[in-house]
Amino acid sequence: MSPPEHLNLNVRGLGLSATVAINERSLDLIQAGRTMARMGLGQSPFPVPAPVVEELRANASRKEYLPVRGLLELRSAVADYHRRRAGMVSSADDVLVGPGSKELMFLLQLCYYGELVIPTPAWVSYAPQAQVIGRRVSLVPCAKSNGWKLADDDLERLCRRDPKRPRIVVLNYPSNPTGGTYTAEELARLAEVARRYGVLVLSDEIYGELHFRGEHVSIARFYPEGTLVSGGLSKWCGAGGWRLGTFTFPRDKRWLLEAMAAVASETYTSTSAPIQYAAVRAFRGGMQIERYLWNARRILAALGSTCADMLRAAGADVLEPAGAFYLFPDFGSHAALFRRRGIHRSSQLCERLLEETGVAVLSGEDFGRPGDEWTMRLALVDFDGARALAALETRPADEPVSINYLEAHCLPVLEGTRRLIAWLHAPGATSAAQQEVGEPSEGVA
């Protein structure tokens, strides 16, 4: 059916976000009786920390509309958090709270007139948001040899072509989809280029607390006057469904904050009151939350490294992850095999994998990469994070997370990876391969 003639041209042909779509499809298949390895949606497997849940419970009766910019107590806590973690000089007046950082990113593109510069591979929703609003997008392909990261030379070449053009450059690190991150030196070089051309940097640091060594560095340290830091509760606090995001602005960009707040007042009005009160506790931190983060990082680091090793042994080229819960393997060494099986694009590869094995992953095409590159993203989240964290509570904090621990507590992810590998190496023998490696449980996506 063709779209009605009055449908906005910017949304014609726009489907569900790839991550949302793969999750809903996986749930439908489970309802139909399929056993799935849910490695598509990047939802934290871990529970919300107990102190934050307690704060939500204590404030569940809050029903008032809070200020559009967010609860003053929360905005102060966010500013303090960034001072502690990144050395940012900010106050409550520099913070905007919204119903998820995704919504705030949309408002930013709506209010700031400029080209959106997206290094690829990149999270699936940056470019579609620009399409909906009608903004120009420049995709900058990043080299696998550089860890899939934006190089300062690449940014320089882009900006030099039209030095006066207003631009928003998106940096996301640790990265969704690669699990990689930037060094302080790399960020400093990018900051030099951004400053030279007056670029606005949207620094999406939603995974910052999941840097495996707890050593996340913000580009705001090097380019404070032009960096807008995006954060929230969804990834490090396990509270994706709570929908709370934060933007922290440079002081001389308060005009932009005010414009976004004005649009917010005409659209969503304010963010859920009980969630905002609970978020104050999250951003203030404390020993319980630090221990929670320490153990979550230990689990994710061990799981990411183990799965990366498994994929490399199967012939994939995959970056060693530095944070978050993703891998972005390149199966180019299997290209001839795929073509013999009638597979000519990475999207077809992921579709066949889903149909024949029940392993749900996303194609590199969803993240802005060429279809013939044979990349895919694995979200290593299909396990019971509450059970996994509880098991570490009885162990020394510096004890390495062993393969036996992963087999006991993260088995669906390991089995999903094994199922993928078995399918690669045993064309036409998927059922036997499934029986050999076992069937992954439904788990927690």
pLDDT in tens, 119-140: 999 999 999 999 999 999 999 9
Q: Which tokens belong to 72? A: 């003053």
**Of 321 and 86, which is predicted with more confidence?**
321
Give pLDDT, residue 12: 83
CATH number of the domain within which 260 lies: 3.40.640.10
- Contact (CB, 8 A) for 261 and 69: yes
Say if 2 falls within a structural domain: no
Share above pLDDT 90 across residues of the chain, in percent, rounded to a whole number: 82
Say if 59 falls within a structural domain: no
pLDDT tier, 2 (very low <50, low <70, confident <90, very high otherwise): low
Model-level pTM?
0.91
CATH number of the domain within which 361 lies: 3.90.1150.10
Say if 52 falls within a structural domain: no
Same domain, 280 and 319: no
How confident is the model over 299-311, as a mean pLDDT? 98
Give pLDDT, residue 438: 40
AA letter at 54:
E
| Residue range(s) defining the domain that contains residue 333 | 9-47+288-437
DSSP string, 184-226: HHHHHHHHHHHHHHTPEEEEE-TTGGGBTTS----GGGT-GGG
Reply yes or no on whether the pLDDT at 106 is more than 50.
Answer: yes
Same domain, 273 and 144: yes
CA contacts within 13 A on the Cβ side of 196: 16
Same domain, 240 and 364: no
Nearest-CA neighbor of 169 among 181, 148, 152?
Answer: 152
Distance between alpha carbon 235 and the CA centroid of its chain, in Å? 8
Nearest-CA neighbor of 205 among 193, 217, 195?
Answer: 217
Say if 384 falls within a structural domain: yes
Per-residue pLDDT of 226-239, as tens digits, reads 999 999 999 999 99
Min mean pLDDT across 8-12, 154-158, 256-260 is at 8-12
User: 425: which residues sit within 8 A by CB, 6+ positions away?
Assistant: 314
CB atoms within 10 A of CB 314: 19
Give pLDDT, residue 428: 52
Q: Which tokens belong to 292? A: 């929670």
Distance CA 120, CA 115 (A): 15
CA contacts within 13 A on the Cβ side of 174: 28
Domain boundary among 251, 285, 319: 285
Reply yes or no on whether the pLDDT at 441 is more than 60.
Answer: no
Distance CA 298, CA 287 (A): 16
Domain boundary among 248, 266, 285: 285
Say if 444 falls within a structural domain: no
**Distance, first Cα to last Cα, the chain:** 33
pLDDT tier, 418 (very low <50, low <70, confident <90, very high otherwise): very high
Reply yes or no on whether the pLDDT at 209 is more than 80.
Answer: yes
Give pLDDT, residue 36: 85
CB atoms within 10 A of CB 12: 10
Distance CA 445, CA 443 (A): 7
pLDDT tier, 427 (very low <50, low <70, confident <90, very high otherwise): low
Per-residue pLDDT of 17-49, as tens digits, reads 777 888 888 888 888 888 888 999 889 999 999
Give pLDDT, residue 429: 39
Give the DSSP H/E element, type plus range, for residue 363: strand 362-363
Same domain, 162 and 26: no
* Tally of domains within the chain: 2
Same domain, 224 and 314: no
Burial class from Cβ neighbours inside 10 Å (0-12, 13-18, 19+) for residue 62 reads middle
Domain boundary among 285, 314, 336: 285
pLDDT tier, 157 (very low <50, low <70, confident <90, very high otherwise): very high
Share above pLDDT 70 across residues of the chain, in percent, rounded to a whole number: 95
- Contact (CB, 8 A) for 347 and 371: yes
DSSP collapsed to 3 states, 223-242: CHHHEEEEEECCCCCCCHHH
Burial class from Cβ neighbours inside 10 Å (0-12, 13-18, 19+) for residue 369 reads buried
CB atoms within 10 A of CB 158: 20
Give pLDDT, residue 358: 93
- Contact (CB, 8 A) for 108 and 253: no
Give pLDDT, residue 439: 40
Same domain, 212 and 164: yes
- Contact (CB, 8 A) for 334 and 349: no
How confident is the model over 399-427, as a mean pLDDT? 93
Say if 317 falls within a structural domain: yes
- Contact (CB, 8 A) for 226 and 169: no
Across-strand partners of 229? Answer: 203, 248
Same domain, 432 and 386: yes
Reply yes or no on whether the pLDDT at 443 is more than 60.
Answer: no
How confident is the model over 258-282, as a mean pLDDT? 97
Same domain, 210 and 163: yes
Same domain, 127 and 267: yes
Per-residue pLDDT of 325-343, as tens digits, reads 999 999 999 999 999 999 9
How confident is the model over 105-119, as a mean pLDDT? 96
The SS3 of residue 260 is helix
Distance CA 53, CA 274 (A): 11
Same domain, 424 and 298: yes
- Contact (CB, 8 A) for 89 and 336: no
Same domain, 26 and 115: no
Give pLDDT, residue 395: 85
Mean pLDDT, rounded, of the chain: 92
Per-residue pLDDT of 172-192, as tens digits, reads 999 999 999 999 999 999 999
Reply yes or no on whether the pLDDT at 432 is more than 50.
Answer: no
Total residue length of the chain:
445
Say if 228 falls within a structural domain: yes
Give pLDDT, residue 376: 97
**Going edge to edge, which strands form the sheet with 362-363?**
326-327, 376-379, 362-363
Give pLDDT, residue 288: 94
Say if 311 falls within a structural domain: yes
Write the CA distances from 373 to 59, 203, 350, 390, integer angstroms. 49, 27, 13, 40
pLDDT tier, 363 (very low <50, low <70, confident <90, very high otherwise): very high
Distance CA 189, CA 281 (A): 35
The SS3 of residue 265 is helix
Same domain, 229 and 83: yes
How confident is the model over 152-171, as a mean pLDDT? 97
Reply yes or no on whether the pLDDT at 86 is more than 50.
Answer: yes
